[in-house]
Amino acid sequence: MQKPTVTIIGGGPAGLMAAEVLSAGGAAVMLHDKMPTLGRKFLMAGRGGLNLTHSEPMAAFLKRYGTARGVLTPILEAYPPQALSAWAEGLDQAVFTGSSGRVFPKALKASPLLRAWLARLDAQAVTVRTRSTWKGWDADGALMFEDVSGATETSQPDATILALGGASWPKLGSDGGWARILAEKGVAPVPFRPANAGFEVAWSEVFSTRFAGQPLKAVGLSFAGLTVRGEAMVTAHGLEGGGIYALSAPMRDAIAAKGRAALRIDLRPDMPWAQIAAKLDHGRVGDAVANRLRKALNLSPLEINLLREGLGVALPTDSETLAAAIKSVPLTLTGMRPLDRAISTAGGVGFEALDGGLMLKALPGVWAVGEMLDWEAPTGGYLLQACFATGVWAAKAVLGRAARA
């Protein structure tokens, strides 16, 4: 059988994984990326240790994908976290599971993994064109690419995989510019929205100046009946961090609908209300409220002043009311940080525009993968896992279609 020719547009995790599967399966693969080097956002993600995936049970893992869970379940089950860990090990990049269940390379960097990966693709004869910007299709249906000199190259492969990313990292290549090209072909993407981004809180000037950049560790965060444990970082604008990101989708939607969202923070999630009240009762009579909080519960200046931001400068003095406040500090979120400040995006190509193999129904022979699809998930390994898995899924669909041709 003659080798099928496949062009992949986008050199992030989804595109690179599709290239690996396709070239291993006998396809002739050409990969284009408009940036000077491949995997630039992947390298950026690695600055924090490269959280590849998560080790929690699959049922809990799948719930992290919210409304896209139904569509992504077979894709993630076909390429689960264990497969991604084994893949990294196969590139001589040992992994370990942290205390939070997150899975990292032992090197705690993306660069060694990326180098080994690109070497494998080179060994599998994947051809790479960098500084090559996709411009859409010409009148004859050929893909058009423009290099830095302005010269245009065209190609008509047997299959095309689009792995163009979302819209939250324009400096690294993910600017969402592809949405216009697809819209002209009858594929109207869902509007982009920030995901895994910070939220705005109208802090007092004193609080913002004093505490911006300080973390709230091991707190409970609740919104609309959903509760997570995690960390949050105070910023000059409001709050960000893993715990905030885990609730970002419903809080973003509430702000869009009502102009605000009511977040509650439990400063002592491991301590029942009655125990907190009892400790406060044993505080020294006549102590100021701040001293009682510090001595009885070891609340930090940040935590004490966060209570004041939520309740007012004059904190309640009776132990029961104060304990209830510590278990549920009310904060009003007034907005979400803009798209270019987000870690990832919601929106993009809706799954209704795709068949079961992730091929665009309006454009036979063209597949879409990775973050350019309309799904979102919190940080913690879920983003990369779905990017890798959709790349594998689409590549196998391409190979299957070529075998049936």
- pTM of the model as a whole: 0.92
Alpha carbon dihedral 277, 281, 283, 287, in 10-degree steps, equals 100
Domain termination site, one of 313, 336, 359: 336
Cβ partners under 8 Å of residue 165, min gap 6:
10, 12, 41, 173, 174, 176, 370, 371, 372
Residue pair 128/117 in contact (Cβ under 8 Å)? The answer is no
Whether residue 124 is found in the same domain as residue 255: no
Whether residue 237 is found in the same domain as residue 318: yes
The model's pLDDT over 73-99, given as tens digits with 9 standing for 90+, comes to 999 999 999 999 999 999 999 999 999
pLDDT given at position 396: 98
Q: Which amino acid is at 46?
A: G
pLDDT given at position 285: 60
Whether residue 323 is found in the same domain as residue 279: yes
* Rounded Cα–Cα distance for residues 35 and 299 (Å): 48
Residue pair 344/371 in contact (Cβ under 8 Å)? The answer is yes
Place 235 in a pLDDT band, splitting at 50, 70 and 90.
very high
Whether residue 88 is found in the same domain as residue 109: yes
Cβ partners under 8 Å of residue 105, min gap 6:
50, 52, 88, 93, 94, 95, 112, 113
Specify the length of the chain in residues.
Answer: 405
Q: How many domains, in total, are found in the chain?
A: 2
Place 1 in a pLDDT band, splitting at 50, 70 and 90.
low
The model's pLDDT over 54-74, given as tens digits with 9 standing for 90+, comes to 999 999 999 999 999 999 999
Q: Give me the domain span that covers residue 164.
A: 5-193+344-404
Surface-to-core class of residue 130, CB atoms within 10 Å of its CB (0-12 exposed, 13-18 middle, 19+ buried): middle
pLDDT averaged over the chain? 95
Whether residue 241 is found in the same domain as residue 349: no
